[in-house]
Amino acid sequence: MSEKVRFSSVVGPELAGAIDLPDGEIRGWGIFVHGFTLGKGSPAASRVSKQLAREGIGMLRFDNLGIGDSDGDWGDGSFTVKVQDTIRAAAMMAERGTPADLLVGHSWGGAAVLAAAAEATGVRAVATIGAPVDPSHVERQYDAIVDRVLSEGSHEWFVGGRTLVLKRAFVEDVRRAHLRDRIGELDLPLLVLHSPTDNTVDIDNAGEIFREARHPRSFVSLEGADHLLTVRGQAQRAAHIISAWADQYIHGSRPAGETSQVV
């Protein structure tokens, strides 16, 4: 069972989300941040979140600016906006009485949760799936038009069956983003999940994230998984791993008087 929610992006338009409510005993709450041009209904976001909910961890997944059911123009977003909207999502979860213990990010969303975690209300643990160590890794997806974007200010980009408008400010923001310092300063438990056969984000990225991070840190190889977690059972497997790893950080770990409930 899921509950629809909406909250404002840092740039104004409303973002659409769904909270997959936990089955049985509530173990905790979390937020799933999707990949670059994906959305809350992508296989990784929906399947991982629903499986975590089945295991007692309620999960918010939301569409970024101009994606899916969210308002606004995708081109007005950026890595910085994605990070700040993740922090907004955590604030919204805390306001409704279900503070997020856990941040999970897939692909570019994994980079975003690493950058957002220190400022995200209530977060106690972070997990990444197929994340790049450098946010500018996404530039290879639009490298065919990047020169025109920089010279003309914007240009249409056809991706994933739809047309988006890539803007100069977006490209420049991504190029300015530096994640390694954020990883090194992250004072939270970190789980890095990555497939050795990921053809979109090479597994070397996982090794670099792991080396930059402090303890407690863990790495699990998702043997047989593709980048988008579309292979049968792989998203659920990732969720099982996250659920087991996160248990010590979320289950019964909140101070006396701090509650986690559905409102």
- Summarised one tens digit per residue, pLDDT across range 176-214 is 998 999 999 999 999 999 999 999 999 999 999 999 999
Of 3, 26, 1, 4, the closest CA to residue 15 belongs to: 4
State the average pLDDT over residues 107-119.
Answer: 97
| β-bridge partners, 155 | 166
- pLDDT of 244 > 60? The answer is yes
Look up residue 23 and give its DSSP letter. Answer: S
- pLDDT of 255 > 80? The answer is no
- pLDDT of 175 > 70? The answer is yes
Residue 103 CA from chain centroid, whole number = 7
Segment among 45-49, 143-147, 158-162, 163-167 with least mean pLDDT: 158-162
Residue bearing tokens 């692909």? 107
Question: Residue 182 has which token pair?
Answer: 């954020």
**pLDDT value of position 263:** 36
- pLDDT of 262 > 80? The answer is no
Distance between CA atoms of 180 and 159, rounded to whole angstroms? 28
Distance between CA atoms of 108 and 256, rounded to whole angstroms? 36
Distance between CA atoms of 13 and 9, rounded to whole angstroms? 6
- pLDDT of 261 > 50? The answer is no
- What's the start-to-end Cα distance of the chain, in Å? 14
Question: Residue 149 has which token pair?
Answer: 């974007």
Half-sphere exposure of 211 (CA within 13 A, CB side): 7
For 129-168, the three-class secondary structure string (H helix, E strand, C coil) is: ECCCCCHHHHHHHCCCCHHHHHHHCEEEEEECCEEEEEEH
Of 243, 209, 27, 215, the closest CA to residue 133 belongs to: 209
| β-bridge partners, 166 | 155
Ramachandran angles phi, psi of 157, nearest 5°: -135, 120
State the average pLDDT over residues 215-222.
Answer: 97
Distance between CA atoms of 191 and 214, rounded to whole angstroms? 11
Residue 61 CA from chain centroid, whole number = 9
- pLDDT of 24 > 60? The answer is yes
State the average pLDDT over residues 155-173.
Answer: 91
- pLDDT of 257 > 80? The answer is no
- pLDDT of 55 > 80? The answer is yes
| pTM of the predicted model as reported, rounded to 2 decimal places | 0.93
Of 131, 262, 236, the closest CA to residue 186 belongs to: 131
What amino acid is encoded at 123 in this protein?
V
Distance between CA atoms of 167 and 35, rounded to whole angstroms? 18
Look up residue 259 and give its DSSP letter. Answer: -
- pLDDT of 71 > 70? The answer is yes
- pLDDT of 260 > 50? The answer is no
- Burial (CB count <10 Å: 0-12, 13-18, 19+), residue 29: buried
State the average pLDDT over residues 50-58.
Answer: 97
- pLDDT of 259 > 60? The answer is no
